Amino acid sequence: MEKIAIVTGASAGLGKEYVKHIIQGGYDVDRIWVIARRAERLAELKELYGDVIVPLPLDLTAHGSDEIIAEKLDAERPDIRILVNNAGFGTLGDFINEDYSQQAKMVDLNCRALTSVTNIALKYMSEKSFVVNTCSIASFAPNPRMTTYCSTKAYVLSFSKSLRFELKSRKINVCAICPGPMDTEFLPVAGIEKGVSKTFDTLPRCNPDKVAGKGLKAASKGKGVYTPGAFFKFYRFVAKILPHSVVMNMSKT
C-alpha cells in the first residue's frame, strides 16, 4: 500500500513550503498529492521534485471537486500519513463594502472544502498519521475589517480541536497552525499592501519556511495548536484572558 501525503493550496507560499519539508524532513511517504487551481504551478513542483509529486489541478470551490478526490482515493486506496489543509484566502475591508460572492467563496474554501477533504481523507488514515490545518492568529479573536476571514479561521480552530479529541483513540493527531502575517501571495490577494493598514505594517512577519517546518514537526509530535513567534504567542494569551471587545480595539485592521 502506497504511503502518501496530501497538500491543498500547494502551488505557492506556505503550501510549497509544506511540500518541501515533507520531502526533506524524513516523513515516511512515497508520494505527495498536490492540489491547487494552477496546473502550471503544480507542474513546476513535479519538475523540481520528480515523481514523488502527483499533481491534482482542482478548484476546491468548484462543484464536483470533492468527488474527484474521493474517487481517486477509492481507486488507489493509499495509506494517507499526512493531510495538509492549506487552501484558503482572505480579504481586507469593511464587510458592507465587500463583494458578496467573494465572501461566500471564502467561507466555501476556508471551511466547507477543508471539512469535506478531511472527511474524505480520514477513511484512509491510521495510527500515527496526522492532519495539519492552516489556521491563523485571526482565529483567536474577532478582527474588524476581516470579519469573514477571522470567522472562517475561528471555525478551523474549533474544528481542529474537536476533531483531535475525537481521533485520540485512533491515535491520529490534528494540529491547527496559527501564524501571523507572512510575505506570501496571501497579502496582495487580500488587498493588504504596504500603507493600507497600520496594524499590518507594524506586525512582525512569520517566515513561511519555518512555519511549515516547525508546524509539521509539532503536528507529528501530537501538538494540537502551533503558534510561531513570541509576539503571536503573547497575543494568543491576551485573546484568552481579555474581553474580545478590548482585543478588537487592539487588533483592528
How confident is the model over 1-59, as pLDDT tens digits?
899 999 999 999 999 999 999 999 999 999 999 999 999 999 999 999 999 999 999 99
In the predicted model, is pLDDT for residue 114 greater than 80? yes
**Looking at the domain that runs over 3-251, which CATH code has it been given?**
3.40.50.720
How confident is the model over 156-205, as pLDDT tens digits?
999 999 999 999 999 999 999 999 988 876 766 656 666 555 666 778 88
**Of 187, 218, 219, which is closest to residue 200 (Cα–Cα)?**
187
Task: Give CA–CA dist 161/224, Å, rounded.
Answer: 7
Q: 230 is written with which cell numbers?
A: 513570541
Q: What is the pLDDT of residue 203?
A: 82
As a whole-number percent, the residues of the chain with pLDDT over 90 amount to 83
Beta strands in the chain (DSSP E): 3-8, 31-36, 53-57, 79-85, 125-134, 173-177, 225-226
Which residues sit opposite 57 in a β-bridge? 36
Taking the C-alpha atoms of 58, 63, 66 and 67 in order, what is their torsion angle to the nearest 10 degrees? Answer: -110
Q: What is the pTM of this model?
A: 0.93
Q: How many CB atoms lie within 10 A of CB 250?
A: 12
Per the prediction, the chain carries an average pLDDT of 93
User: Both ends of the chain: CA-CA distance in Å?
Assistant: 48
Q: 68 is written with which cell numbers?
A: 474527484
